[in-house]
Amino acid sequence: MGKRSQKNSVLMVCVGNLCRSPIAEAVMRDVVARAGLQAEWHVESAGIEGWHSGRRPDERALNVLARHNLDYFGTARVLAPEDYLKFDYIFGMDLSNLAALRRMAPKGATAKLLLLGDFGLRPDERILEDPYYDIGEAPFEQIYRQCKIACKNFLKQARLKQIM
């Protein structure tokens, strides 16, 4: 499968595609829309593991997105080998995600594998911790906040062609 049209493409990845990556996807879509660049960017999310494939995101994630007037209509899917050719950028939410992305990359992969938190977050905030087992929505709000900063900074750098 070749690259999709001339759009730049981003895939947000976490373990199960229930919490962090759907939030990151929704935030990145919003950042792109606010910049008026919907025609230039394609954004999706996926999980490293397929335990939750076909399920809607965690209710707490959806509640946080709704509070920020963001919709999310997707369902969880598992990362596929062709994603490494289809997407320009694949973001892990933590170092474990990034290590798995590197380990799973097929021969000839063309996507840049990056840590989302490396874009504009302080060193002590660059890891987007998995909130799945936490109680309440506060950890999901923290993920939203981190994604907002990182996605804005990533898009700015990508437009300036500063990403290697």
Q: What domains sit in the chain, N to C, each tagged with a CATH number?
A: 8-159 (3.40.50.2300)
Q: Output the six-digit token pair for 24.
A: 């990151």
Q: pTM here?
A: 0.94
SS3 7: coil
Please write the tens of the pLDDT for every residue from 86-145: 999 999 999 999 999 999 999 999 999 999 999 999 999 999 999 999 999 999 999 999
* E strand or H helix that includes residue 96: helix 95-104
For residue 9, which phi and psi values (nearest 5 degrees)? -135, 140
Please write the tens of the pLDDT for every residue from 20-57: 999 999 999 999 999 999 999 999 999 999 999 999 99
Residues designated as active site: 14, 20, 130
pLDDT at 3: 47
Cα(126)–Cα(144) distance, integer angstroms: 13
Q: Output the six-digit token pair for 132.
A: 């799945």
Q: How does the average pLDDT of the chain come out, rounded?
A: 94
Cα torsion through 126, 82, 76, 152, rounded to 10: 30
pLDDT at 68: 98
Cα(40)–Cα(85) distance, integer angstroms: 18
